[in-house]
Copies of this chain bind each other. A is one copy, B any other.
Amino acid sequence: METVRKRSKKREAIFEALRMAKDHPSAEMLYSRLKPMYPDLSLGTVYRNLAVFLGDGDVVSVGTVAGQERYDADTSPHAHFICRCCGRVLDVNSPALERMDEAVERETGGRVTGHSLSFSGECAECLVKTAV
């Protein structure tokens, strides 16, 4: 039996905040951004709703940065650049990654339902700081 989904201000606010954010926030980042507007918001609710979004396929996990899972409401195939210095996560326009899915299916015999390409290093801002 599948549970009926009811609307909720909090849930919509969480999704909207994630959709608007360009920095692929973690649960805690979303929480502290929404807290001022929803003073009685709880961190558990953020986690619970993120799990719902993931289950519905409306949100995707970008990976774990510094121990925290990072999320993205842009589910179209694209890559990320993760700065190991400041933890920033940037979008990267990836060239035809979709084609590679079939290649991997042929190689492994499995079924590919998604991919994630991420580059790591130091972002432009951190390079400047480090260069000092």
B-binding residues in A (CB < 8 A) = 63-64, 69, 79, 81, 83-84, 90, 92-95, 100-101, 103-105, 107-124, 126-127
Contact = CB atoms under 8 A, between A and B. Distances in A.
A82 to B, nearest CB: 9
Given A95-B100, A112-B119, A114-B119, 15 more contacts: A81-B108, A84-B113, A90-B108, A92-B108, A93-B107, A95-B103, A100-B119, A109-B127, A110-B124, A110-B126, A112-B120, A112-B121, A115-B118, A116-B119, A117-B117
B108 A113 contact: no
A79 B122 CA distance: 21
Contact of A110 (B81, B110, B115): B81
